[in-house]
Structure 1
Amino acid sequence: MAGESTQARLIRFLKDELAIPAASIQVALKHPEQDSNMLPMVLWQYGLITLEQLNRIFDWMETA
């Protein structure tokens, strides 16, 4: 994973650890204010992840 962007690692975490469907991630990635820091909030705002999942993502982001 050396050289892999933070966003790519985040997307892999969302798919592998939280089983977020790729289609849901694509919807959030199309959001106009999208950057890797906003992706979890956009997923949550659209109702694509739970608050518990959002907290797990933030915990992961602190250590990534």
Structure 2
Amino acid sequence: MSKQARLVEFLNQELAVPTDAIALGVRQSASMPNLLPMVLWQYGIVTTYQLEQIFDWLEASTG
């Protein structure tokens, strides 16, 4: 499973981000997939607190 697929799974299962909202973020960040968390935040899909949780998860998953 790719890192982005694991991130999408985390967003959906742990943060309860709707699948269609994740799909929007993926489309908007297609040219730069690393920006998916920021795109979700910019669109108001995730809160600042959730964004911090995403960054914590990303940091932990790179180990």
Structure 1 residue ranges without an equivalent (≥5)? none
Counterpart selection for 2:7 from 7, 10, 14: 10
More helix as a share of residues: 2
Q: Does 1:63 align with 2:35?
A: no
Structure 2 residue ranges without an equivalent (≥5)? none
Q: CA RMSD in A?
A: 1.0
Runs of 4+ residues deviating >2 angstroms:
none
Q: Does 1:51 align with 2:29?
A: no
Equivalent pairs counted in the alignment come to: 60
- Partner SS for 2:22: helix
Partner of 2:22: 25
Scaled by the length of structure 1, the TM-score of the pair is 0.88
Q: How many percent identity over aligned positions?
A: 50
Scaled by the length of structure 2, the TM-score of the pair is 0.89
Q: Could you list the per-position Cα deviations for residues 15-59 of structure 1 after superposition, in whole angstroms to 9, with x for gaps in the alignment?
A: 010000001001111115441x21100000000000000000000
